[in-house]
Amino acid sequence: MSWDPDQYARFGGERLRPARDLVNAISAARPARIADLGCGDGRATELLAARWPDAEILGVDDSQSMLDAAAKLGLRAEWRRDGIDTWQPGSRFDVVFSNAAIHWLPDHATLLPRLLDAVAPGGALAVQMPRNFAAPSHALLFDLAESPSWRARLAPLVRRQPVQDPQWYYDVLAPRARSIDIWETEYVHALSGDRPVVEWLKGTWLRPFLHALGPDAPVFEAEYARQVAAAYPRRADGKTLFPFRRLFMVAMR
């Protein structure tokens, strides 16, 4: 399955706000080497480059279409196609950064300590992940995928809790970290346009489900859109409010 940079960028401002908050929470003064894991279209990498213009930056992503979009930004950065779970850093980085990517991967109990080990002493591992999977946007998707009409093809894609609670991550990282700052923020996005919550999910979590269905995808999408419209009604001014909870952590070595 390939990712669609244009679909993902439809809500670029809203998607970038957590990345900006994460960048601003990193206390490293002058990091020389920064790795952006799951860099996507490079918009978050651009924030890192703006804050630390003298740093050597590596962007890593397993989607060539996203890396191609990132390369068009003209940043002084190296782009590398690789998975976060297979990435071998070689030498340590002053900042290892990952915005809205690690939730796609399993076994965080092994992955997060390994990424922290890639951080140089005095550096930081900075991670943001969605933790919105019990909200109607995701719960309705999972329920529909597990319904009799679709479960044979879609049930294996359902992951109802890909991200654990903050206490779990604290306990995983604490043995290796000098300090940990961990928090959650629920953004309330005021989205414009028709079916904005569906269009948001088509850029991320809905995409694998539609890909798996091939020509039957429009039928599934129409039913999902009907249910989502009831859960997220349009306001009097035409906007649709979309609350979205995210988990942040900055672990210092």
| DSSP secondary structure letter of residue 161 | -
Provide the b/e sequence for 147-179 (b: ≥16 CB within 10 Å): eeebeeebeeeeeeebbeebeebeebbeebbee
Flag whether the pTM goes above 0.85.
Answer: yes
- Please state the φ and ψ torsions of residue 10, each to the nearest 5 degrees: -60, -30
Domain ranges for the chain: 5-252
- The CB density around residue 32, as the number of other CB atoms within 10 Å, is 14
Q: What percent of the chain has pLDDT over 90?
A: 93
Task: For 131-166, write each residue's pLDDT tens digit.
Answer: 999 999 999 999 999 999 999 999 999 999 999 999
Q: What is the pLDDT of residue 240?
A: 98
Task: Give the pLDDT confidence score for residue 5 in this predicted structure.
Answer: 74
For residue 2, the model assigns a pLDDT of 67
CATH node for 5-252: 3.40.50.150
- 1 pLDDT higher than 70: no
SS3 72: coil
Residues 41-59: tens digit of each pLDDT: 999 999 999 999 999 999 9
Summarize pLDDT for 166-212 with one digit per residue, the tens.
999 999 999 999 999 999 999 999 999 999 999 999 999 999 999 99
Please state, in angstroms and rounded to a whole number, the distance separating the CA atoms of residues 166 and 241.
Answer: 25
